[in-house]
Amino acid sequence: MEYSGLLLMLGFLAIFYFLIIRPQQKKEKKIKEMRGNLKIGDEVATIGGIHGKIISVKEDIVIIEVGADKIKLTMAKWAIGNVLNQD
């Protein structure tokens, strides 16, 4: 009967892992993969809401072109929130 408390705690830890930790890890892996696969010509949205087209990709930096005036903005890769033209 001493093990019932331990089993209950292990059950809660398993539920916590499968409902919270594992889905978060999958989401982070998907985002990291998306940012690693950025290429020139991709239409992107930043986490700040700026929409533009990638014109240059470097190790940790992307340059996007926004607006009708084709203004170039230098952004960190982590600032890219979504690729809009998924193939």
Q: Whole-angstrom Cα distance, residue 17 to residue 23?
A: 9
Give residues with Cβ within 8 angstroms of 52, minimum separation 6: 43, 44, 46, 64, 65, 66, 67, 73
Nearest to 36 by CA among 28, 48, 25, 47: 28
Q: Full-prediction pTM beyond 0.85?
A: no
Q: Whole-angstrom Cα distance, residue 40 to residue 84?
A: 13
For residue 85, name the pLDDT band (cuts at 50, 70, 90): confident
Which tens digits make up the pLDDT trace of 51-82? 999 999 999 999 999 999 999 999 999 999 99
Q: What is the pLDDT of residue 86?
A: 64
Q: What is the pLDDT of residue 87?
A: 57
Residue spans of the domains in the chain: they are: 1-36, 39-87
Q: What is the pLDDT of residue 2?
A: 77
Domain spanning 39-87, CATH architecture: Roll (2.30)
CA–CA distances in Å: residue 67 to residues 25, 58, 73: 35, 22, 11
